[in-house]
Amino acid sequence: MPTDVIKAKNYLLSLGIHGEIPMGSERMEMRKRQLSGQQEAVAGVTVTAPAQQGQAGQGQRASNACCFCWCCCCSCSCLTVRNEDREERNRRASCDVKAEGTTDCEESPKPTVDEVRLWGQSFDKLMLCPAGRSAFRQFLRTEFSEENMLFWLACEEFSKETNKSAIEEKARLIYEDYISILSPKEVSLDSRVREVINRNMLEPTSHTFDDAQLQIYTLMQRDSYPRFINSPVYKTLLKSVSEQSPES
């Protein structure tokens, strides 16, 4: 009997063991799945959040980037500085031209009928007269070639400069505004003249742009001046001063 009881207990124990193993395996498997699910959830939060932040950051930086800036972290501060620098240069150039008294057509003295008639006879006489330059510049503006007159005026003012530091600064401004291929006000010069300017810019003097100024002067004389004389701008002005002249 004891032997049978022992056998029965062993048998039941063996059954209990064999029965609990699958149950333990299922619990372990469920536990593993739960832990795995929690780890995936945590990992998802951990990975997704930086990814979303990265994408948001990239989107924000991309919106601040521009074609002038390779880095996306400066919020285009470089462009702002360049714009401010460009505005400052334009302001200085404008002041330089105003010294000539020909920035705006309205600032020039009213021409006489004799002066206007002389403009039609000679381009040199036109350019020697402030009112003539003003009227001609107004015409060039309609042809989108006003930069030729602006460059010529800037060179006239530049050639009078004697201070070395001022010469270097003004030479740089003129180069950036009218010679550089990146400037919207670039004037049309041949390769020979450009090479001369590039050499002169190493040690600029008041004669750095002499060849370029002469070439633009000749261009305006041969190309724009004949059209100006035959334009309504000139004819209307001549008629107006003729009617207001005491002689008429």
In a domain, residue 171? The reply is yes
Among 209, 200, 198, which Cα is nearest to 159's? 209
Q: Would 74 be classed as within a structural domain?
A: no
Assign residue 209 the CATH number of its domain.
1.10.167.10
Cα dist. 41→38, 44, 46, 69 in Å? 5, 5, 9, 40
Q: Residue 169: which of 158, 181, 156, 178 has the closest Cα?
A: 158
In terms of domains, do 42 and 98 share one?
no
pTM: 0.58
Asked if residue 101 lies in contact with residue 108, where contact means CB atoms within 8 angstroms, the answer is yes
In-domain check, residue 205: yes
Is residue 193, in this structure, part of any structural domain at all? yes
What is the rounded CA–CA span in Å between residue 242 and residue 248? Answer: 7
Of residues 65, 129, 96, the one with CA closest to residue 88: 96
Q: What's the domain count of the chain? A: 2
Q: Which domain holds residue 197?
A: 83-244
How confident is the model at residue 207, as a pLDDT? 95
How far apart, in whole angstroms, are the C-alpha atoms of residue 237 and residue 230? Answer: 12
Q: Report if residue 77 sits inside a domain.
A: no
- Clarify whether residues 214 and 164 are in a common domain: yes
Supply the pLDDT for residue 198.
95
Task: Please give the pLDDT value at position 81.
Answer: 42
**32 and 130 share one domain:** no
Domain shared by 17 and 118, yes or no? no
pLDDT at 155: 97
Q: Which of 82, 92, 101, 98 is nearest to 174 (CA)?
A: 92
Q: Are 73 and 84 a contacting pair, CB within 8 Å?
A: no
Report whether 113 contacts 245 (CB < 8 A).
yes
Residues 89 and 195 grouped into a single domain: yes
95 falls within a domain:
yes
Give one DSSP letter per residue of 87-129, joined into a string: HHHHHHHHHHHHHHT-SSGGGSPPPPHHHHHHHTT-HHHHHHS
In sequence order, the 6+-apart residues with CB closer than 8 A to the CB of 191 are none
Q: What is the pLDDT of residue 216?
A: 98
> What does the pLDDT read at residue 38?
56
Tell me, yes or no, whether 78 lies in a domain: no
Q: Residue 104: count other Cβ atoms within 10 Å of its Cβ.
A: 12
Q: What was the pLDDT predicted at 110?
A: 86
* Spatial CA neighbour of 218 closest among 120, 103, 124: 124
Choose one of 29, 64, 99: the last residue of a domain: 64
- The two tokens of residue 23 are 């149950």
Same domain, 108 and 206: yes
Contact 82, 66 (CB under 8 A): no
Do 53 and 14 belong together in one domain?
yes
Please indicate, yes or no, whether residues 42 and 121 belong to a single structural domain of this protein.
no
Give 10-residue mean pLDDT values along the chain (248 residues).
57 51 48 57 45 46 42 42 51 44 54 94 96 96 96 97 96 97 96 96 96 97 97 93 74
107, part of any domain: yes
Same domain, 95 and 197: yes
| Same domain flag for 42 and 138 | no
8 Å CB contact between 102 and 130? yes
Which residue is it, tokens 């880095």?
Answer: 71
Q: How many CB atoms lie within 10 A of CB 211?
A: 18
Distance CA 154, CA 160 (A): 10
If asked whether residues 122 and 177 sit together in one domain, one would say yes
Question: Does 48 share its domain with 97?
Answer: no
